[in-house]
Structure formats: structure tokens, C-alpha cells
Amino acid sequence: MQSIRNEAKRNAELSTNIDNFRSRYTEQSYDGGTTVTYPAGDIEALDKNFFKLLAGSMLITFKPDWYQRPDYVSDEYYNTNIFWPIILYINRIASIEDFKDIDEIYIPTYDLIIEVMRDRVSSTDITSLEEEDNHSEARYFKIYPLDDREKNIIKSRERLT
């Protein structure tokens, strides 16, 4: 019997896993002992090919059984549940919870998804944040406006350069 853990492990290893479309970044911890690699927030291959995916999609009627279940759509059209994030992406739906009360959705063809996969970021293309020349505060995803403590940190860094 297949467990959720085994299915998740198997799906994570697939070349079609949505995280394989993302850039990767590494950062070493403050103590210098631990290096962490994490995926970027954007999905470059899908962003670059959005209109190509949209143009090659079928417009289908949303079924009530698909209420908050884009994985059901993926399973029905591709015989695997791994493509549900692409279905949400192409329909500009932010989360599974918003996958409801829709009249029609776009479903990209399987061949087109495979073609876009070839344009994905290589798994060996990892950017080290320590090697970047631009140490802008925006890379830390700070919320603006900055508070006084953050402004003082930025000013002290500017004095050092």
C-alpha cells in the first residue's frame, strides 16, 4: 500500500516537480557551519512561457467535483497529480482554497508542459548569495516602510563602504 510519505518522495524526485522549475539559492549560516539551499519564489520557466502555455491550452468547463482539488484535474487530464500547480498558475489562481466558483479553466496540453520543462532552470544553476555584488536590503523580503532599527542598520552599513 502506498503511503503519503512514499508518494511525496516519488513525486519530489520527478523531473516534472514544480520545484525543479525554480532557481536555487544558497546561504551560509552566521556561524559558518551550515549551508542552506532553498528554491526561489518565482518560477522562471513558467513566467517566460506563460503566454505560450495559455495559447496552447484548452478551455474546459469547471466540474463541481474539482472544488478546491486541482490535483483531480491534473489526474484526469495527465494521469498524474503532479501538475496541479501549473493548472493553478495558468489560471492565475493563488491557492487551492481559491480553486472554486469558477465557470471555466485553462488546461495546457501535456506536450506543451513537456516543452516548457526543457526551458527550466538547470538543477546545477545555484547562486550563492554571499557572492552577489548587490547586497540590497530588498533581497531579504523586508516589509516597507522600514522601522527605526532597520534604518540604523542600513546607515551603519553605508558608512562602512
Query: Averaged over 125-146, what is the pLDDT?
Result: 50
- What is the number of other CB atoms lying within 10 angstroms of the CB of residue 74? 20
Q: Could you tell me if residue 31 is inside a domain?
A: yes
Is pTM beyond 0.85? Reply is no
Q: Residue 78: inside a domain, yes or no?
A: yes
Q: Does pLDDT of 137 surpass 60? A: no
pLDDT at residue 97, as a whole number = 93
DSSP assignment string, the chain: ---HHHHHHHHHHSTT-GGGGS-EEEEE-TTSS-EEEEE-SS-HHHHHTHHHHHHTEEEEEPPGGGTT-HHHHHHHHHSSSTTHHHHHHHTT--SGGG--S-SEEEEE-HHHHHHHHTTSPPTT-EEEGGG-S---GGGGTPPSSPPHHHHHHHHHHHHH-
Is 27 within the bounds of a domain? Answer: yes
Per the structure, the complete domain to which residue 101 belongs is given by 4-127
In a domain, 149, yes or no: no
Average predicted confidence (pLDDT) for the chain: 76
pLDDT tens profile 1-47 = 567 788 777 777 776 677 666 666 677 666 666 777 666 666 777 88
Within-domain flag for 134: no
pLDDT in tens, 39-75: 666 677 788 888 898 999 999 999 999 999 999 999 9
On whether residue 133 sits in a domain, the answer given is no
Name the pLDDT band for 77 (thresholds 50, 70, 90).
very high
Total number of domains in the chain: 1
Average pLDDT (76-95) is: 90
